[in-house]
A and B are shown apart, each in its own frame.
Chain A
Amino acid sequence: MGFSVEDIRKQFPALHQEVFGKPLVYFDNGATSQKPQVVIDAIEHYYAKENANIHRGVHYLSQKATDAYEEARRIVQRFIHAKNDYEVLFTKGATDGINLVAFSFGELLEAGDEIIISEMEHHSNIVPWQLVCQRKQTVLKVIPILDNGELDMVAFEKLLSKRTKLVAVTHASNTLGTINPVKEIIQKSHAVGAKVLIDGAQSIQHLKIDVQDLDCDFYAFSSHKVFGPTGAGVLYGKEAVLNSMPPYQGGGDMIDKVTFEKTTFNELPFKFEAGTPHIVGGIATGVALKYLQELDFESVHQHEMELLNYAQAEMKQIEGLRIIGTAKNKTSVISFVVDGLHPFDIGTLLDKQGIAVRTGHHCTQPLMERYGIVGTVRASFAFYNTKEEVDLFLKALKRSIELLK
């Protein structure tokens, strides 16, 4: 199957606009991705033709909405290669999924148990575990990183022990782009009896995900980073682990039978989906993943790597520019600083030239501290970006640096 970036761009209406009189170059895909027309259409279609509450109506529309929602669950199941559709829980996003595990799996933990995270985690995969530690007197351990932005695997193995109950690491770093050796991490963690949560917020849109091959116990991601809507996401969990956990939130849909004396809970996945869910969010997540599935993964991946390699090679020529995160395996993310210049100033000037990037600490303050910087400028590419856009970015970047120096 071929890959034409021009054809792909036609599917994304938001890419075709001007900002400050300049054509928009959208390089903030690490923060959120733009949506293809099929996803936008699915949202409109749902509200125009299918809107009804699910799992409870006797009427036609309710059944139609329920079917669409449950079909979306099966699309997600196939996309991440889960064994069963009921291992796919719909959430509000990656953060929500991690908090669900932190609460419900956290309930199984005892004082002195250890949770391991890494130095490159974003706040969503740090703070929920700190809350568990406050609640259950568990201990948080942190895998350090090497200067190039790769995990220190030697240090990781030293942290592992029989006390380790959970390892929660990101698949790919939002700030550095580093792709972590999660399969190895999972194997080593399982060897000491620990469960593993993979934060997939930055990998779902770039890498092939097979949760059975990885053998992870949990995998969390947000739909909006993978061309779907905001406010929706997925938590995959292994059946046995999910069944061992108490519910996260109480409400409709998650119950079996309610009396004032005792309530019994519904089975998976509903046990963890209290209340009327973000129905259209779930449906549109399915549409987004189906769209992505129909593209040729190898071509998409190769295109992203070409953008990354070309941009990095050109940026290395710019005097005073330093790329933060130079791991061997990277997603199409480039964080950088320029000597003597504040990331905010560079980002502001890029914005006025039509280039959308992110600046700041990227919700990874401990990581910024590790590198002794206040923040970075981050350009993150999706498969709909082009080499011509990279050239516009480079030109705008050079002009910004010239003005600020």
Chain B
Amino acid sequence: MTLEEKQQEIIDEFSIYTDWMEKYEYIIDLGKSVKTINEDLKTDDRLIDGCQSRVWVASEFKDGKLFFSADSDAIITKGIIALLIQVLDGESPETIVNADLHFIKDIGLQDHLSPTRANGLLSMVKQLKKSALLAMR
């Protein structure tokens, strides 16, 4: 699946929910069930200290592709991270650096990306892209 197709899949998934709480219920379930970062990888150098929730990111570069794991102490943040990883995992560094992650806006979660929201998510997207940039070197 292309990055675009993966985004569309999430947009379609969310389009069935008309109520905000249903959307968040889905994100919470995702946050609860997703396999994220290993506890021993939750080190301070992988911590993106947002104002409210803490977010850890680790990446692995294998056969020209990047693979991510991440975690957060807030379950909603974790659910949104899971969505991000779903889209970016296994892509080439070039694709990740240039990715327009419009699905976040399309499913109505853009407020989580506002710098003032300060939940670490914006920093996390930056961090994912930074890992990709580093892998390109």
Binding site for B on A (CB under 8 A): 20-21, 341-345, 348-349, 352-353, 359-361, 374-375, 399, 403-404
29 A-B contact pairs sorted by A residue (CB < 8 Å) = A21-B20, A341-B75, A342-B53, A342-B73, A342-B74, A342-B75, A344-B52, A344-B53, A344-B76, A344-B119, A345-B28, A345-B75, A345-B76, A345-B77, A348-B24, A348-B76, A349-B21, A349-B24, A352-B24, A359-B52, A360-B51, A360-B52, A374-B52, A374-B53, A399-B21, A403-B24, A403-B28, A404-B28, A404-B75
Q: Mark B43-57, 1 if CB is under 8 A from A, else 0.
A: 000000001111000
The smallest beta-carbon distance between B54 and chain A, in angstroms, is 8
Contact of B21 among A360, A375, A403 (CB under 8 A): A403
Asked if B25 lies at the interface with its beta carbon under 8 angstroms from chain A, I say yes
Q: Which residue of B lies closest to A348 (CB)?
A: B76
Contacts of A352 in B (CB 8 A): 20-21, 24
Chain A residues with CB under 8 A of B24 = 348-349, 352, 403
Assembled-state Cα–Cα distance A361/B73 (Å): 15
Whole-angstrom distance between the Cβ of B60 and the nearest chain A Cβ: 27
Whether the pair B21, A353 counts as a contact (CB closer than 8 A) is yes
Bound-complex Cα distance A341 to B53 (A): 11
- Residues from chain B with a CB closer than 8 A to the CB of A404 are 28, 75
Q: Across the two chains, which residue of chain A brings its CB closest to B75?
A: A345
A404 CA / B73 CA spacing, docked (Å): 12
Contacts of A341 on B, CB cut-off 8 Å? 75
Distance, CA A359 to CA B76, complexed state (A): 14
- The 4 tightest CB contacts between A and B, nearest first, are A342-B74, A352-B20, A344-B52, A344-B74
**Contact in complex: A20, B53 (CB < 8 Å):** no
Distance A404 CA – B25 CA, assembled complex (angstroms):
8
| Inter-chain contacts of A349 with B (CB < 8 A) | 21, 24, 76
**Interface contact B74-A345, CB-CB below 8 Å:** yes
Docked complex: B50-75 residues within 8 A CB-CB of A: 51-54, 73-75
Q: Could you say which residues of chain A place their CB within 8 Å of the CB of B51?
A: 360-361
Residues of chain B with a CB closer than 8 A to A360's CB: 51-52, 118
CA gap between A403 and B53 in the complex, in Å: 18
Instruction: Output the least CB separation between A254 and chain B (Å).
Output: 34
How many Å from the CB of A348 to the closest CB on chain B?
A: 5
Measured CA separation A146–B21 after assembly (Å): 39
Q: How far is the CA of A352 from the CA of B21 in the complex (A)?
A: 7
Q: With both chains docked as a complex, state the minimum distance between the C-beta of B73 and any C-beta of chain A, in angstroms.
A: 6
With a CB–CB cut-off of 8 A, which chain A residues contact B52? 343-344, 359-360, 374-375
In the docked arrangement, what's the CA distance between A359 and B77, Å? Answer: 14
Chain B residues numbered 23-45 whose CB sits less than 8 Å from any CB in chain A: 24-25, 28
Nearest-Cβ distance from residue A139 to partner chain B, whole angstroms:
29
B21 proximity list for chain A (CB < 8 A):
349, 352-353, 399, 403
Shortest beta-carbon distance from B117 to chain A in Å:
9
In whole angstroms, what is the CA distance A341 to B24 when docked? 15
User: Is A344 within 8 A of B20, CB to CB?
Assistant: no
Of the residues B25, B28, B77, contact of A344 by C-beta under 8 Å: B77
Closest to A360 in B: B52
- Nearest CB in chain B: distance from A24 CB, A: 14
Question: How far is it, in angstroms, between the C-alpha of A20 and the C-alpha of B75 when the chains are bound?
Answer: 21
Residues of B within 8 A of A361 (CB): 51
- A residues within 8 A CB of B25? 403
Kindly state the separation between the CA atoms of A21 and B17 in the bound complex, as whole angstroms: 14
Instruction: Report the Cα distance A20→B21, complex, angstroms.
Output: 10
Most A CB contacts (10 A, CB to CB) among B24, B54, B73 go to B24
Residues of chain A within 8 A (CB-CB) of B20 are 20-21, 352
Q: With the chains together, A375 CA to B77 CA distance in Å?
A: 16
Q: In the complex, what's the smallest C-beta–C-beta distance from A216 to chain B, in angstroms?
A: 32
Cβ distance B53 to chain A, nearest Cβ, rounded Å: 5
Complex Cα gap A228–B74 (Å): 35
CB-nearest residue of chain B to A354:
B20
**Centre residue among A343, A361, A374, A404 by max chain B CB count within 10 A:** A404
**Chain A residue, CB-CB nearest to B77:** A344
Q: Which residues of B contact A359 (CB under 8 A)?
A: 52
A359 to B51, CA, bound (A): 10
A348: chain B residues at CB < 8 Å are: 24, 76
Q: What distance in Å separates the Cβ of A21 from its nearest Cβ neighbour in chain B?
A: 8
